[in-house]
Amino acid sequence: MNKRLQQFLAAENISQSKFAETLGVARAGVSHVLSGRNKPGFEFLDSLSRNYPDLSLEWLISGRGRMYKDNRQAESSRIIDSQEPNLFSAEVQQPDNKQINARDRKIVKVVLFYSDGTYQEIS
């Protein structure tokens, strides 16, 4: 992941210090992530996604896909970010006068949060 983060900084022509300032993290923290010494935690990735909404976190974390989201995805992420949802008080949407059979529902995504502050999305 550190190599992809270096690629992103080069593509955006951003110095490590400017990047750290934008994310609101210590320069040493960015340096440690870029060198591969440390892995970024949730706060780092969250700030990265809010400050650079066109960057694909899937690409950054796993190397799959492209560095940048297409315009449709980037715009929808800005809308979602502006709403600042609370993950622990999500509203459940009820169907309009329809009964849904439990067998018709399928799990779309699972997010695992690890004790070291990293996470993994499984689709």
- Residues 25, 17: Cα–Cα separation, whole Å: 10
Phi, psi of 47 (to 5 degrees): -65, -40
Q: Which residue has the tokens 């992941």?
A: 1
Beta bridge partners of 55: 68
The model's pLDDT over 68-101, given as tens digits with 9 standing for 90+, comes to 887 544 444 444 444 444 555 445 555 555 566 6
Report whether 43 contacts 117 (CB < 8 A). Answer: yes
**Kind and range of the H or E run holding 2:** helix 2-12
**Mean pLDDT of all residues in the chain?**
77
Q: Right CATH number for 2-85+105-122 from 3.40.430.10, 1.20.120.420, 2.60.120.1440, 1.10.260.40?
A: 1.10.260.40
Structure tokens at 30: 């960015």
The model's pLDDT over 33-52, given as tens digits with 9 standing for 90+, comes to 888 888 888 888 899 999 99
User: Where exactly are the structural domains of the chain?
Assistant: 2-85+105-122
